[in-house]
Amino acid sequence: MTDIQSIKNRFGIIGNSPALNHALNVAVQVAATDLSVLIVGESGVGKEVFSQIIHALSARKHNPFIAVNCGAIPEGTIDSELFGHEKGSFTGAVDSRKGYFETVNGGTIFLDEIGEMPIGTQARLLRVLETGEFIRVGSSKVQKTDVRVIAATNRELLESTQTGKFRQDLYYRLSTVPIRVPSLRDRKEDIPMLFRKFVVDFSERYKTMPVQLDDEAKNLLINHPWPGNVRELKNIAEQISVLSSSNLVSAHELRAFLPDRNNVSRLPVLASATPQHTGEFANEREILYKLFFDMKKDVTELKKMFLEILQNPALAAQAANYTSESLMNDYPVMSNELPKQVNAPASMQPAFIQPVQAGAQPVLLPHEEDIHQHVEVEESLNIMDKEKELIIKALKKHKGKRKDASSDLGISERTLYRKLKEYDIDA
């Protein structure tokens, strides 16, 4: 236990919960080996600190260590970042470049958010783990490297292997020794100590007296769910240190700093026309919400048009001049399903309107209450079809420019690239 305590002091780890101590013990025992390690835990629990501990206690401690966030690197460039590329291998490759597996030879590479890595890159990584060999992008020369891989994820990768998003063989190769870092709500006894450490640090930074919590506020702090884990607790401690009106914080004052989980809006949010970030949207929900709202808007406009015709019969004469060709141009989704002739049901009574041209047929108008019964459009409501259709429209609109098309769709360029492959769209 003395060794564990010294490691805690060295790396600034606060807490004595059994789950935390077990994770540290596993990290210490595996550090002396060259085995691959998979660190599992929610966002904000401190997974990168465990990778630093393993490297610092290993025989590679004097060699390079690099942390790579796989989710922050675009899909089209991650192979080049990890394995390097040759001059002219792709647009913009004006010179040869070494990848991380080449520059960190003899050291340790920490692959954070490994679950975000593309399938093609996963195959390359598997080869490095099994044989120590890799090939630069645009090259045919096999190179060797001696790198220890430590991976981390906030997902359940075993579930991702069942859906085909993560290679099963890579999962078992990475998780030779798994380390599960506990969430903050699973180590409630450590919350008061962590909070005290944070407020003391912030009081020194801002030259103020460290705040304290009364008993009721302390219980409120301990029982908070902390979805952001240690990172969220540190942010709350900093807010209280700066904004608290007194050094002794009550439960009532503490509630003003804690987010109210019961009032968090769960309504869908539309993606903006110009996204402020390049991260991938979760499950591409935003593009589907945009599609649904656009469809609802079109239906509302159609209802409004029919009501105006009912209220003003003169508009029916103008409606008679519309051809099926113009309707198909305006509504290409329905173009293959527009009937050439409309057989009016019995409930639709003819409206005797002066024809615009001699020999023109009278226009049949339905009763207002029958609109919803007889005006039906049978079209595909498959979400994947609509998503593919929107992507094709966006690419045509922006003349094949994927960056502009992804911005118009409200998704990242990486997501658009994946959708093009998924739907087999040539662009």
Domains along the chain with CATH numbers: 2-182 (3.40.50.300), 185-263 (1.10.8.60), 268-333+363-427 (no CATH)
Residue 324 has pLDDT above 50, yes or no: no
**One-letter amino acid of 51:** S
| Structure confidence at residue 333 as a pLDDT band (50, 70, 90) | very low
CA distances, 282 to each of 134, 191, 288, 420 (Å): 32, 30, 12, 18
Residue-wise pLDDT tens digits, 30-83? 999 999 999 999 999 999 999 999 999 999 999 999 999 999 999 889 999 999
Neighbours of 233 (CB within 10 A): 20
For residue 218, the cross-strand partners are none
Exposed/middle/buried for residue 342 (C-beta within 10 Å: 0-12, 13-18, 19+)? exposed
Exposed/middle/buried for residue 205 (C-beta within 10 Å: 0-12, 13-18, 19+)? exposed
Share of the chain above pLDDT 70, in %: 75
pLDDT reported for residue 76: 85
User: Which of 21, 414, 40 shows the shortest CA–CA distance to 405?
Assistant: 414
Helix (H) or strand (E) holding 213: strand 212-213
Q: How many CA atoms lie within 13 A of 330 on its CB side?
A: 10
User: In whole angstroms, what is the distance from residue 49 CA to residue 27 CA?
Assistant: 11
Residue 61 per-residue DSSP state: T
Can you tell me whether residue 365 is helix, strand or coil?
strand
Q: Which residues contact 143 (CB under 8 A, 6 or more apart)?
A: 102, 133, 134, 135, 136
**One-letter amino acid of 256:** A
CA 70 to chain CA mean position, Å? 13
pTM, entire model: 0.60
User: In whole angstroms, what is the distance from residue 183 CA to residue 225 CA?
Assistant: 10
Q: How many CA atoms lie within 13 A of 268 on its CB side?
A: 15
Residue-wise pLDDT tens digits, 76-85? 899 999 999 9
User: In whole angstroms, what is the distance from residue 395 CA to residue 414 CA?
Assistant: 15
User: In whole angstroms, what is the distance from residue 84 CA to residue 98 CA?
Assistant: 4
pLDDT reported for residue 379: 54
Q: Which of 144-153, 275-284, 418-427: highest mean pLDDT?
A: 144-153
pLDDT reported for residue 165: 92
Helix residue spans in 244-382 (DSSP H): 251-255, 285-311, 314-320, 324-330, 371-374
Share of the chain above pLDDT 90, in %: 53
DSSP secondary structure of 26-55: HHHHHHTS---EEEE--TTS-HHHHHHHHH
